[in-house]
């Protein structure tokens, strides 16, 4: 009997489908059909948007939901690719970190309307007369609302890998490539997944602005839930807003069950545990695919390819590596690199000054800075309030995996709730009781971004090693001592990541929150967000650039002077291992 005679029956049995294969194939084919249908709509000419405009017919909502979901899924895929490349380079290269992390502070502070102002025309000209160009502009705008917090999360995780795991990777002589896939990515996975869920849900907050684009004389309205909500707000149609909320809830439940819940259950094996967790998350979709026979057999070649790629022995060039005790950094090279950074920054500042000075004066700058300080005060107060509320809640949820599994869809829905849907309540109450928009529009800024803090704290508490919790119990640490000595140090890096992204997101949300409309009623709070929104609507590009520049400067300074020192403290004093 030959080896072929032995393997052939086993191979035939492995490829023979079972009942679970049939169910899984139906799900896969259904997803492919929806993707193909949605993709075909992007190949239409741009004039088709005028022939078949967005309406408030509830029967159109399933198609609108499909279009919006596909844009958000494409944006999240682009965000993951960006995160792996950007965070890895920033975490592994000290000189790259000097540029990339401040640049990331600036990127997350640039409002979505700022990106739309300068990218819509570019993408429309890239594919003239086609819907695909507008679709790319929309996907890019959603990408800018998703990528930054995921990148910060992975960067934070890679910088806080426990020392014993680092020593183990060195003892096994892993190359930089092998360490990335075998240590850095698995360790970062819990926080990255929670931030991906937050990004997916947080994208709903900006989907209204990205699907209903108005920049000066350019107006593009793509079919989707965002443009549906914008039209419902314009026409004061409460029933349509109710239908939109129901559709959003169903879509969130669908991608929670079909996408994120399986990923969370699969990634539980990456938790940094030295004792087994008794309450591991579960997923019926993951269990379904694990019970298949033919589909699992078809994935074996891809698994082998993945294993081969992750085992490549690729080392990072010595000049880019983080310096070690035996590899001191070159002060001369550092000085030259710093001079290049300063020169590049100075040149960019000079070009911005030349552009603005042609039409604006010092009084315009002083006014914009004043608006920025008002928005800064709002952001600071709101982040402090959100911290006091959501850190204890996040710890309580994260330390109970079964509870986190049940609350996950609700948290995603709350994170996805766009501030625009709260406009009717806020506008009516403010007008009826003659309240100040400067105070009562402020909560809209934190409505969608406070969840960055909650999701990151849940991720930190979920990844908290069980053996440390058991050690704390054996020492009878309770009450405030338990919080100060055990939990807060363990989740501190995660909280800082959430707070930084929540702070940047609140600045971004100020564009939407400081200008609220309901039908013909328009309310405006005094602040930098309202300044940029007004300038964008008027097509006043110099003031748009000025507002964005001031927002970037304030956010960067706030991060550098406040959040980064706290982040460094967490790395020095509170690192596990």
Question: Residue 329: how many CA atoms within 13 Å on its side-chain side?
Answer: 14
What mean pLDDT do residues 337-351 have?
85
User: Which residues make beta-bridge pairs with 45?
Assistant: 130
Torsion sign, CA atoms 325, 326, 327, 328: positive
Tokens coding 277: 């967790």
- pLDDT, residue 539, reads 75
Cα distances (angstroms) measured from residue 524 to each of 371, 377, 434, 440: 13, 17, 13, 11
User: Would you give the end-to-end CA distance of the chain in angstroms?
Assistant: 55
Do 202 and 145 contact (CB within 8 A), yes or no? yes
- Residue-wise pLDDT for 480-499, tens only, equals 888 887 888 888 888 888 88
Cα distances (angstroms) measured from residue 293 to each of 261, 288, 306: 22, 10, 20
Do 468 and 489 contact (CB within 8 A), yes or no? no
- pLDDT, residue 425, reads 79
Tokens coding 444: 């809209």
Least confident of 31-35, 64-68, 83-87, 568-572: 568-572
Can you say how many angstroms the Cα of residue 86 is from the centroid of all Cα atoms in its chain?
14
What mean pLDDT do residues 119-123 have?
78
- Residue-wise pLDDT for 296-328, tens only, equals 777 777 777 777 776 676 655 555 555 544 455
- pLDDT, residue 318, reads 53
Distance (Å, whole) CA 398 – CA 458 = 4
What mean pLDDT do residues 87-91 have?
90
Can you say how many angstroms the Cα of residue 125 is from the centroid of all Cα atoms in its chain?
28
Token pair 């949300």 is at which residue? 509
Nearest to residue 224, comparing CAs of 366, 53, 458? 53
Tokens coding 92: 């592994």
Tokens coding 354: 């030349």
Distance (Å, whole) CA 440 – CA 451 = 20
- DSSP H/E element including 63: helix 61-92
Distance (Å, whole) CA 300 – CA 282 = 23
17: confidence class by pLDDT, cuts 50, 70, 90: confident
Cα distances (angstroms) measured from residue 559 to each of 110, 145, 500: 14, 18, 7
Do 493 and 570 contact (CB within 8 A), yes or no? yes
- Backbone φ and ψ of 110, nearest 5°: -70, 120
User: Which residues make beta-bridge pairs with 219?
Assistant: 214
- Residue-wise pLDDT for 398-445, tens only, equals 888 778 777 767 776 776 666 667 777 787 888 888 888 888 888 888
- pLDDT, residue 9, reads 53
Tokens coding 293: 């026979």
Nearest to residue 198, comparing CAs of 458, 387, 380, 441? 458
Do 94 and 280 contact (CB within 8 A), yes or no? no
Q: How much of the chain exceeds pLDDT 70, in percent? A: 86
- pLDDT, residue 368, reads 92
Tokens coding 364: 């315009």
- Backbone φ and ψ of 525, nearest 5°: -90, 150
The conformation of residue 478, written as its DSSP 8-state character, comes to: -
- Backbone φ and ψ of 572, nearest 5°: -75, -45
Phi-psi region of 236 (alpha: psi -120 to 50; beta: other; left: phi over 0): left
What mean pLDDT do residues 533-555 have?
85
pLDDT at 80 > cutoff 90: yes
Cα distances (angstroms) measured from residue 449 to each of 132, 325, 333, 390: 30, 40, 40, 12
What mean pLDDT do residues 517-535 have?
83
What mean pLDDT do residues 72-87 have?
92
- DSSP H/E element including 93: none
- Residue-wise pLDDT for 198-208, tens only, equals 788 777 777 77
572: confidence class by pLDDT, cuts 50, 70, 90: low
pLDDT at 460 > cutoff 80: yes
Do 427 and 236 contact (CB within 8 A), yes or no? no
- Backbone φ and ψ of 519, nearest 5°: 65, -125
Cβ-based neighbours of 316, under 8 Å, separated by 6 or more: 92, 93, 176
Distance (Å, whole) CA 538 – CA 278 = 58
- Residue-wise pLDDT for 381-391, tens only, equals 999 999 999 99
Question: Residue 420: how many CA atoms within 13 Å on its side-chain side?
Answer: 29
Distance (Å, whole) CA 179 – CA 186 = 10
Model confidence, pTM: 0.77
pLDDT at 135 > cutoff 90: no
Nearest to residue 176, comparing CAs of 329, 330, 319? 319
- pLDDT, residue 6, reads 44
b/e code 218-228 from CB counts within 10 Å (16+ = b): eebbbbbbbbb
Distance (Å, whole) CA 364 – CA 528 = 12
- Backbone φ and ψ of 565, nearest 5°: -60, -40
DSSP three-state, residue 204: helix
- pLDDT, residue 103, reads 84
Do 524 and 452 contact (CB within 8 A), yes or no? no
Distance (Å, whole) CA 543 – CA 535 = 6
DSSP three-state, residue 382: helix
């Amino acid at each position: 009997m030959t080896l072929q005679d032995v393997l052939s029956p086993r191979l035939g049995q492995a490829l023979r489908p079972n009942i679970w294969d049939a169910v899984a194939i139906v799900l896969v084919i259904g997803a492919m059909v929806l993707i193909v249908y949605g993709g075909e709509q992007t190949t239409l000419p741009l004039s088709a948007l005028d022939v078949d405009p967005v309406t408030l017919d509830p029967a159109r909502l399933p198609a609108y939901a499909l279009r919006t979901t596909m844009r958000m899924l494409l944006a999240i895929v682009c965000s993951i690719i960006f995160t792996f490349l950007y965070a890895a380079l920033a975490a592994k290269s000290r000189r790259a970190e000097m540029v990339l992390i401040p640049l990331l502070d600036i990127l997350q502070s640039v409002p979505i309307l700022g990106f739309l102002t300068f990218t819509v025309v570019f993408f429309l000209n890239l594919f003239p007369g086609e819907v695909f160009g507008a679709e790319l502009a929309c996907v890019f705008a959603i990408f800018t609302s998703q990528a930054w917090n995921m990148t910060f999360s992975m960067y934070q995780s890679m910088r806080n890998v426990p020392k014993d795991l680092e020593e183990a990777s060195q003892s096994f002589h892993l190359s930089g490539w092998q360490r990335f896939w075998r240590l850095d990515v698995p360790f970062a996975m819990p926080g990255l997944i929670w931030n991906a869920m937050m990004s997916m849900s947080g994208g709903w907050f900006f989907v209204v602005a990205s699907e209903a684009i108005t920049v000066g004389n350019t107006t593009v309205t793509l079919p989707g839930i965002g443009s549906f909500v914008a039209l419902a707000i314009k026409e004061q149609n409460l029933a349509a807003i109710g239908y939109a909320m129901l559709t959003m809830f169903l879509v969130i439940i669908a991608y929670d069950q079909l996408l994120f819940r399986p990923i969370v259950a699969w990634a539980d094996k990456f938790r940094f545990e030295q004792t087994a967790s008794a309450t591991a998350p579960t997923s019926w979709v993951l269990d379904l695919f694990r019970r298949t026979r033919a589909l699992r057999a078809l994935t074996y070649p891809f698994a082998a390819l993945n294993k081969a790629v992750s085992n490549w022995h690729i080392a990072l060039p010595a000049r880019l590596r983080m310096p070690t005790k035996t590899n001191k950094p070159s002060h001369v090279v550092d000085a030259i690199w710093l001079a290049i950074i300063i020169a590049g920054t100075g040149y960019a500042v000079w070009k911005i000054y030349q552009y603005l000075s042609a039409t604006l004066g010092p009084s315009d700058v002083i006014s914009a800075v004043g608006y920025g300080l008002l928005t800064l005060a709002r952001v600071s107060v709101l982040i402090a309030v959100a911290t006091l509320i959501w850190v204890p809640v996040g710890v309580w949820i994260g330390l109970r995996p079964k509870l986190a599994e049940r609350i996950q869809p609700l948290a995603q829905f709350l994170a996805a709730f766009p501030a625009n849907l709260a406009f009717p309540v806020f506008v009516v109450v403010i007008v009826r009781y003659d309240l100040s928009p400067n105070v009562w529009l402020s909560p809209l800024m934190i409505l969608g971004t406070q969840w960055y803090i909650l999701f990151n704290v849940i991720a930190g508490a979920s990844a908290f090693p069980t053996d440390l919790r058991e050690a704390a119990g054996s020492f009878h640490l309770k009450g405030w001592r338990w919080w100060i000595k055990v939990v807060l140090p363990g989740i501190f890096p995660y909280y800082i990541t959430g707070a930084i992204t929540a702070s940047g997101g609140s600045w971004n949300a100020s564009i939407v929150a400081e200008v609220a409309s309901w039908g013909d009623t328009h309310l405006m709070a005094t602040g930098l967000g309202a300044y940029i929104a007004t300038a964008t609507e008027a097509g006043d590009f110099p003031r748009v650039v000025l507002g964005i520049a001031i927002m970037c400067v304030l956010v960067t300074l706030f991060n550098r002077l406040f959040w980064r020192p706290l982040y460094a403290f967490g790395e020095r004093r509170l690192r596990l291992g």
